[in-house]
Structure 1
């Protein structure tokens, strides 16, 4: 399986802590068979009742190509270390989930002194790997849950979804940044503008857009596309509208498109989350969980994308970063799966 590092039993054994009398999710989730090709693995998983494919993209070339911080390389392992040790019980058994593995990005990582042009060239190479892998996952009828890497990977996800589902995609993104910056070479700040230009993105709503973290050029470009937004200040600062009211409106607009829905979340939207652009003035994790669960439950979601978490950027050190990002992403995964299983 080219450019895919499978999550196998050996990897699972390093992360899983079992206890007599309990069953952990890691003891129930499905894994791939290295002796079979990807399509065969996914078809077999689908026939065994799998609905969700959990995939990691460990890279920080996208944020660095956007002149941001690195560190978004190991969120997947942090998340799996926590998620797989949650209980398998009546609320979630885990049998509907396949832990697939990570996109191989090791050869694309560049040294700290790499130029923006070199980084952006490698982001384009990564785009093709994401499109290639995710197209197979979508075609198998599974819903990807994608963890880690920069928000540049939204482009590859949207392109793969459009190619496999034969329709453009409607997206909602909880993010202080619209990531709709000019097409100046691929990076984490323009995944959605590239997807819009390609025809993969047909409708776009940004929830929690920060009024002072998006250039006027970007806002004008987003408006010209027909994009929509609720700002962070409208909901969480000035309290002009409740989050639930905003989500109800967003879900209605998404459903009116009659298109598959991409649920995007940049972890730097969450208060003090270790990420490529962490913020002290963000939204509570509980609101992010509500957002993911609400849209997953009320819209025809195609996938969940959790981007930009960077455990090594935690102010208390890497171990604290792994713990916080792992717990947070695990809760977000469960919020999505729970919403989809109980979808209206």
Structure 2
């Protein structure tokens, strides 16, 4: 069975809208020539891409069983496709060359049951199977010295990503999560609301901070668990409502802690943090996309970031319909990817 669904020149050509005198990212980035069906092929393909100048590997995870296992809405399976339709048609120029990018494709999750009538218990069992797929797909990227950018699926996939990063670096991971929810809920079976609490219990998570946490969207039990672990947060209300500190002041604090920790850094972002973004748990009381871009850029630029994870985008949840959702999610995720890459390319942090 292929590790990834095919994403070759044929798929790129279908999405690309070329224009005379211009060079689009879809015309310059790399993809695998053939479906990847063995671990050896995958490792060889990653090494070849690195030798060709690739630094960032884009991986899609087309699933929404994690949010549904958390009693939430589906729709997070389409974020990768929405993003590719937009990202491939951005310009390849002096600010970003597509030659730095390898689009590995979307994980083949056909072995994971996704029927809508599965019980909550069975959905949580399937999420555990998905964890293994994610770990197997991302670990070789880290081992090749490349940086994964993961798009789509529920925030349950944070567990697999943190586990893979720890396996590859032999260090615990410091994660910062822009999210109204801490996703540090009880370990009652795997779902999108407890990826970080499971990662903490497994020893993969060494430090955890939530930026933009909503003060009324997290239970007292969750706050207690987070504090017991040593986790911290800046709430949405403290920055954007009460204005007790600015976003840049909060980021200054976070960056300082991350530098002192000298741990590899995971940049996590749940798209439902952004105002009215089509997502599994969309919110009207969120933050502007420009602030989310600032968050991604600063952490990418000033810390030892190892990956970017953009979770929960759900185009079909847009109030104006699927087409509008594809445009908004695709454009927003593309901007977040660009912010991460620019930050990393300009980064001089040596920790």
* Structures share fold, TM-score greater than 0.5: yes
Aligned match of 1:214 in 199, 210, 218?
A: 218
Which residue is 1:294 aligned to? 298
Aligned match of 1:80 in 84, 87, 111?
A: 84
Aligned match of 1:142 in 146, 158, 169?
A: 146
Q: Within 5 Å, which residues of 2 pair with 1:191-340?
A: 191-340=195-344
Which residue is 2:21 aligned to? 21
Which residue is 1:183 aligned to? 187
Q: 1:169·1:201 contact (CA, 8 Å) conserved in 2? A: yes
* Deviation at residue 255 of structure 1 after TM alignment: 1.2
Moved more, 107-116 or 223-232: 107-116
**CA offsets per residue over residues 195-239 of structure 1, 9 Å max, x none?**
000000000000000000000000000000000100000001111
1: distance between equivalents of 2:109 and 2:308?
20
Matched, 1:129 2:133: yes
SS in 2 for 1:74: helix
Assess, with a 3 A threshold, how the Cα gap between structure 1 residues 272 and 35 changes in structure 2: closer, same or farther: closer
Moved more, 30-39 or 296-305: 30-39
* Deviation at residue 35 of structure 1 after TM alignment: 6.9
Matched, 1:64 2:63: no
Which residue is 1:4 aligned to? 4
Assess, with a 3 A threshold, how the Cα gap between structure 1 residues 174 and 35 changes in structure 2: closer, same or farther: closer
SS in 1 for 2:239: helix
Assess, with a 3 A threshold, how the Cα gap between structure 1 residues 35 and 82 changes in structure 2: closer, same or farther: closer
SS in 2 for 1:108: coil
* Deviation at residue 5 of structure 1 after TM alignment: 1.6
Matched, 1:92 2:96: yes
Q: 1:180·1:192 contact (CA, 8 Å) conserved in 2? A: yes
Normalised TM-score (structure 2):
0.96
2: distance between equivalents of 1:14 and 1:52?
23
* Deviation at residue 105 of structure 1 after TM alignment: 1.5
2: distance between equivalents of 1:146 and 1:270?
18
Matched, 1:103 2:107: yes
Alignment length (residue pairs): 344
Matched, 1:53 2:32: no
* Deviation at residue 80 of structure 1 after TM alignment: 0.8
Moved more, 106-115 or 234-243: 106-115
**CA offsets per residue over residues 57-113 of structure 1, 9 Å max, x none?**
010000000000000011001101101100111111111110110111133242222
1: distance between equivalents of 2:4 and 2:121?
25
**CA offsets per residue over residues 32-53 of structure 1, 9 Å max, x none?**
1327710000000111111000
Q: 1:51·1:97 contact (CA, 8 Å) conserved in 2? A: yes
Q: 2:2·2:35 contact (CA, 8 Å) conserved in 1? A: no
2: distance between equivalents of 1:5 and 1:112?
22
2: distance between equivalents of 1:326 and 1:34?
25
SS in 1 for 2:177: strand
Q: 1:33·1:41 contact (CA, 8 Å) conserved in 2? A: no
Q: Find runs of 4+ consecutive structure 1 residues off by over 6 angstroms.
A: none
* Deviation at residue 2 of structure 1 after TM alignment: 3.8
**CA offsets per residue over residues 154-196 of structure 1, 9 Å max, x none?**
0000000000111110000000000000000000000000000
1: distance between equivalents of 2:280 and 2:299?
25
2: distance between equivalents of 1:252 and 1:35?
43
Flag structure 1 segments of 5+ consecutive residues without an equivalent.
none
2: distance between equivalents of 1:109 and 1:269?
28
2: distance between equivalents of 1:83 and 1:27?
11
1: distance between equivalents of 2:156 and 2:93?
36
